[in-house]
Amino acid sequence: MSLLKKRLIIIGGTSRIGLATAKLVASQSMQLVITGFNPIDQSLKDTLPKDTQFYQLDIANEDAVQTFFKSIGEFDYLTTPGSMVPKGSFLTMETIRAKSGFNSKYWGQYYAAKYGTPHIRRGGAIVLFSGMVSQKPQKNLVVMASVNSAVEGLGRALAIELAPIRVNVVAPGIIDTPRYKTMPEDDRQAMFNQLSEKIPVGHIGQANEVAEVVLLLLNNTFMTGQTIFVDGGHLLI
């Protein structure tokens, strides 16, 4: 299926996987609408086609999400890669902080699907985002595991509820993005090297490799209700 001139909304498209997706689909001559939580720098705008539309949006704010979709008109595809979830001990993390993860990554994507769907053209699709820890929980990642599992359930349910609109979920593993730049360089490289030796593909994932799966799910008209793990085989170890 040709993606030429199709219109894609990327909620959280100003960095990491969202930005990689924007750059990839721009090469397919798609029309882009990109949101970011923070004001969007001109330097970032200059890396994307001139007709790209940019908006500042807090996906956890239901009223703001509803207003955003009312303002942008019809489109073909929606993807939501931008949310972060807090890490920390289950016993000591404040409940309000744990809830913030659900507010952003679960409820934010819920709002985006709810208020975006009425504007999706026939043949359209939604790609939500969870993460590998839904199936491979780790210490101090209770909130992340819970939120990601909830998103995957949401994706399956919406594939039925919103049909024939296709709804799928992408679940990345460890991806080399700026979120790890806060670590000391030696520690980051040691972690990546150790993990690379363990996982079947032998290297850490890159944001563009996740973006390629998003493009696949937009393009393939016979996939819906699926969660695709882009983890280099991490779940197998």
In a domain, 59, yes or no: yes
Residue 66 has pLDDT above 90, yes or no: yes
- The answer to whether position 183 is within a domain reads no
Whether residue 202 lies inside any domain: the answer is no
Report the mean per-residue pLDDT for the chain: 95
What does the pLDDT look like over 192-214, one tens digit per residue?
A: 999 999 999 999 999 999 999 99
Arithmetic mean of pLDDT, 22-37: 94
Residue 187: predicted pLDDT: 87
For residue 1, being part of any structural domain is answered with no
228 vs 177, residue with greater confidence = 228
Average pLDDT value for residue range 129-154: 97
Domain total in the chain? 1
pLDDT at residue 181 above 90? no
Strands (DSSP E) contained in the chain are 7-11, 31-36, 53-56, 75-79, 120-129, 166-172, 175-176, 205-206, 227-230
**Domain span including residue 214:** 7-177+207-236
Distance (Å, whole) CA 84 – CA 184? 20
CA distance 126 to 105: 15
Residue 4 has pLDDT above 90, yes or no: no
Query: Rounded to two decimals, what is the model's pTM?
Result: 0.95
Residue 120 β-bridge partners? 75
Query: Does pLDDT of 1 surpass 80?
Result: no
200 in a domain, yes or no? no
Mean pLDDT for the stretch of residues 114-128: 98
* Residue 140's CATH number: 3.40.50.720
Distance between CA atoms of 58 and 124, rounded to whole angstroms? 24
pLDDT of residue 89: 96
Distance CA 148, CA 227 (A): 11
Number of H helices and E strands in the chain, helices first, is: 8, 9
198 within some domain: no
Residue 157 lies in a domain: yes
